[in-house]
Amino acid sequence: MSELLHCLVCASEKAANIARACRSEPTLFGLLVEEKTGEDKNAKFDQDFKTLADVLIQETVRHDVSQKFPALSESIFGEESNKFTNKLGESLVVSVQADENATKVLLTKVLNNNEEAAQLLAKQVHTEICMDDDVTPDHEKDDECFDIDDIGIWIDPIDATSQYIKGGDEVVAAGFLPTKGLQVVTVLIGAFRKSTGKPILGVVNQPFSKESVKVHWGGEIRQKWCTSDSVLNTSDRGKPRLLIGSSENKDLVAKLSETFEVVRAGGAGHKLMMVALGFADVYINTGPSTFKWDTCGPHAILAALGGGVLDCKHFQEIKYNVGQEGVKANSDGILVFKKEKYCEMVKGAIQNI
């Protein structure tokens, strides 16, 4: 399992490199935006965007993981369809080709014959990622037996897409957390057991974080829960901090404000990770606007820390074995916590509204 974790960490860093490359070239970034329509549109937002970066990152992760673990090729699920329509109206299937030049040829078509942009992206896709050996447990000695056919993976290639497109560099006070801009953008990769639906590995990459450590992980390795050192910190506040998104019941927020410092922040994956990292104590979203790809990776990290992600109706753990054709939304909302006492406090408030 540690070998799979190492593979996911490397894949997340390649994904982050692509996301950063797309932001660093204004001409390139201007070509990447395509409005989501139909079933691909997130109902929470007036405008939500699919970017080529989203699609390319997802397909790159799928390719890299499948190369090392062929049995997983049909069990990697993502937010994005891999069809992209260029500005000429041509519908193309985006996938990683056998070599850099072949990928460049495909991307040139997607990018309206912009060979320079296609070359930049193809280079990132085919660049080998080498992470330090101490980033994850020693996978060279991984003699753990696990059923690879029982593993599924959820990918959110760029969470907080609207913030990614808008950009922005928020100044954050010491001890507080980013609430908007590029710092709330995350790459989310989570593995789960098909037989139980429970998350078992999670990797969250923060491509634009100002912290020295941008990659965080957690999961069940060799039958023990463990995490990266980055999520082992704790923060003590006079008043516990609760995170919400842009749309939440006003009466519930007022009730929770009696006990918690309530903070609005962007990015579902970001808010989940702020709980894991200790910058917040709990996060709620009582609506159906988060999805399996948002929560699977961070959920595994929180589980390794003794926390969890519950629905807001029956307070049951979120499960992930819905497959590509199942209901992907967390329809009954999510309640995210690292410490049980804060979970119980929020449960009481929800039940009394």
Task: Let me know: does 190 contact 219? Beta carbons within 8 Å.
Answer: no
Give which of 335, 336, 299 is closest to 154, Cα–Cα: 299
Distance CA 136, CA 132 (A): 8
- For the question of residue 37 being annotated catalytic, the response is no
Task: Select which of 13, 59, 79, 80 is catalytic.
Answer: 79
Q: Give Cβ neighbours of residue 145 (< 8 Å, ≥ 6 apart).
A: none
- For the question of residue 344 being annotated catalytic, the response is no
Q: Helix, strand, or coil here: 212?
A: coil
Alpha helices by DSSP H, the chain: 2-24, 26-31, 52-68, 100-110, 115-126, 161-166, 250-256, 268-276, 292-304, 340-351
Task: Select which of 60, 108, 136, 161 is catalytic.
Answer: 161
- For the question of residue 54 being annotated catalytic, the response is yes
Q: Give Cβ neighbours of residue 185 (< 8 Å, ≥ 6 apart).
A: 19, 158, 159, 160, 163, 164, 206, 207, 208, 267, 270
CA angle 44, 48, 51 (to 5 degrees): 145
Task: Select which of 59, 80, 156, 281 is catalytic.
Answer: 156
Phi, psi values for residue 181, rounded to 5°: 80, -170
Task: Select which of 76, 153, 155, 158 is catalytic.
Answer: 158
Task: Select which of 59, 159, 220, 281 is catalytic.
Answer: 159
Site of tokens 């101490």: 134
- For the question of residue 159 being annotated catalytic, the response is yes
**Around Cβ 33, how many Cβ atoms within 10 Å?**
13
- For the question of residue 156 being annotated catalytic, the response is yes
Task: Select which of 13, 54, 59, 281 is catalytic.
Answer: 54
Task: Select which of 13, 80, 281, 294 is catalytic.
Answer: 294
Task: Let me know: does 265 contact 255? Beta carbons within 8 Å.
Answer: no
33, amino acid identity: V
- For the question of residue 281 being annotated catalytic, the response is no
CA angle 306, 308, 310 (to 5 degrees): 155
Task: Let me know: does 307 contact 338? Beta carbons within 8 Å.
Answer: yes
Phi, psi values for residue 339, rounded to 5°: -120, 135
Site of tokens 């953008």: 185
Phi, psi values for residue 100, rounded to 5°: -60, -40
What are the residue numbers of the active site?
54, 79, 156, 158-159, 161, 294
